[in-house]
């Protein structure tokens, strides 16, 4: 509940708000891990497509440059002429004349049947091949939204466990804030012991000499670094001069 324990700026980034449409920081890590798992599939798909195009190119070169066509033509003419008018000449003309033949042969053949007949993949086929991987990557991006329902489903079936988890989270946040306060106090004390740098002194001198530059040279919160607003409160110690936002104060 926001009224029970309002979250600080540093704590907001570690929680998941179910109604927030954007992908939040805790979800981003899991989403990136799922996308990284798709990289081997993408590399394998690219390798297969490149290999397919390479094999098609080789077979196409073989088909176009290894075509050989043979043309064979022959002509045979046999004619036996028997002269004379005798009985023997007539007999020979009737017997040997049957040997008279005449034929022309023309044969054309090629190695087309032995050559490869490759068929390349079209752009639509490549798109259809990459479509499942694109859908998988899209599901990796959209899975964060159904995962937000897990806590609601678990709270519906196990209300006592949900109450225990809320109390544990509440106490954990209180311990973290207490430890964070001690750490920041030590850091600010160490920072206060160090002399201010040249840039800090120059900025303070410009703010004192040129009040109209205060809008451009706004200071920031000492703890969280948010830009100065009218709600920021300076340290009451006149020798300190540190500025704090409302939440950090």
Extract the tokens encoding 241: 């001069």
Domain match, 183 and 111 both = no
99/212 Cα distance (integer angstroms): 126
Q: How many CB atoms lie within 10 A of CB 149?
A: 10
Report residues of the chain scoring pLDDT below 70: 1-3, 196-218, 241
pLDDT for the residue 1: 63
pLDDT for the residue 203: 64
Domain match, 144 and 131 both = yes
Domain match, 69 and 126 both = yes
Domain match, 70 and 179 both = no
pLDDT for the residue 79: 78
pLDDT for the residue 159: 92
Domain match, 32 and 134 both = yes
Question: Count of domains in the chain?
Answer: 3
Helix (H) or strand (E) holding 165: helix 159-193
How does strand 243-244 pair with strand 233-234?
antiparallel
Domain match, 147 and 110 both = yes
Domain match, 45 and 150 both = yes
Domain match, 122 and 65 both = yes
Helices first, then strands: H and E counts in the chain: 8, 4
Domain match, 169 and 153 both = no
Give pLDDT tens digits for 186-244: 877 777 777 766 666 666 666 666 665 555 666 777 777 777 777 778 777 777 767 78
pLDDT for the residue 249: 74
pLDDT for the residue 200: 63
Residue 190: give the domain boundaries.
Answer: 159-194
């Amino acid at each position: 509940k926001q009224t029970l324990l309002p979250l600080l700026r540093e704590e907001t980034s570690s929680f998941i708000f179910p109604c927030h449409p954007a992908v939040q920081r805790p979800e981003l890590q899991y989403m990136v891990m799922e996308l990284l798992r798709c990289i081997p599939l993408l590399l394998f798909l690219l390798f297969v497509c490149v290999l397919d195009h390479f094999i098609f190119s080789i077979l196409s070169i073989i088909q176009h440059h290894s075509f050989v066509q043979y043309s064979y033509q022959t002509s045979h003419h046999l004619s036996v002429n028997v002269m004379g008018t005798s009985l023997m000449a007539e007999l020979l003309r009737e017997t040997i004349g049957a040997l008279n033949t005449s034929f022309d042969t023309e044969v054309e053949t090629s190695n087309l049947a032995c050559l490869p007949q490759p068929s390349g993949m079209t752009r639509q086929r490549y798109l259809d091949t990459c479509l499942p991987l694109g859908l998988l990557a899209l599901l990796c991006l959209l899975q964060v939204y159904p995962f937000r329902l897990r806590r609601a489903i678990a709270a519906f079936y196990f209300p006592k466990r949900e109450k225990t988890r809320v109390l544990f989270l509440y106490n954990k946040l209180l311990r973290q804030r207490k430890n964070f306060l001690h750490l920041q106090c030590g850091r600010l004390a160490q920072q206060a012991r160090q002399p201010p740098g040249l840039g800090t002194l120059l900025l303070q001198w410009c703010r004192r000499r040129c009040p109209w530059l205060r809008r451009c040279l706004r200071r920031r919160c000492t703890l969280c670094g948010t830009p100065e607003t009218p709600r920021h409160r300076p340290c009451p110690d006149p020798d300190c001069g540190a500025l704090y936002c409302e939440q950090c104060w």
